[in-house]
Amino acid sequence: MNAGRLVIDSSPLNYFARSGQLPVLAKLVAGSTCLITMAVEEELLRGGAKYAQLYQASAQPWIIVVDESSLGYLMLFSEYHARLGRGPRNIGEATTLAYAEFHNIAAVVDDRVGRRHGTERGVKVTGTLELLCEGVRSGCVELAEAAAVVDLLSDHEAFLPCDGAGFVEWARAEGLLE
């Protein structure tokens, strides 16, 4: 993404880390200030017990862990958490979307429901495939590399709307490669 601020949910970081593609993600977000909430960091660290690569995600020098506790933010978090499902699930996603809305910055979220809720509330939401398409358009990754990354992410349980072979067709249909 072009220079700006991004707050990233745990899912994109999880799959880029597990597939050994954090350097590609770093290229895709170069020039942006990349933030994660403390809840996202905690999710990644908890997941590190099963997938050691997740310990690397929040330790990237280009990621800043933020702690927001203002009343306005907490009210937004509560609204997102209620919409995404109460309980321990989706807390990182709810904090990511609330932080993005509160600070008027873009959120990197792959979950369809979370993306829809954020977009409905006026949050600029992008995701893994959009970042890859922007990387192709800007020339920081080749189309073949982006397609290979899609397959690697899918191999590590990322839920994406296409595989590497279908990436170009999907991206063109979405108008993301022009």
- SS3 per-residue string spanning the chain: CCCEEEEECHHHHHHHHHCCCHHHHHHHCCCEEEEEEHHHHHHHHHHCCCCCCHHHHCCCCCEEEECCCCHHHHHHHHHHHHHHCCCCCCHHHHHHHHHHHHHCCEEECCCHHHHHHHHHCCCCEECHHHHHHHHHHHCCCCHHHHHHHHHHHHHCCCCCCCCCCCHHHHHHHCCCCC
Quote the pTM value: 0.94
The pLDDT of residue 178? 80
Q: Which CATH superfamily is domain 4-126 in?
A: 5'-nuclease (3.40.50.1010)
The pLDDT of residue 1? 46
Q: Where are the domains of the chain?
A: 4-126, 131-173
The pLDDT of residue 2? 47
Reading the chain (178 residues) residue by residue, the pLDDT tens digits are 446 999 999 999 999 999 999 999 999 999 999 999 999 999 999 999 999 999 999 899 999 999 999 999 999 999 999 999 877 889 999 999 999 999 999 999 999 999 999 999 999 999 999 999 999 999 999 999 999 999 999 999 999 999 999 999 999 999 998 8
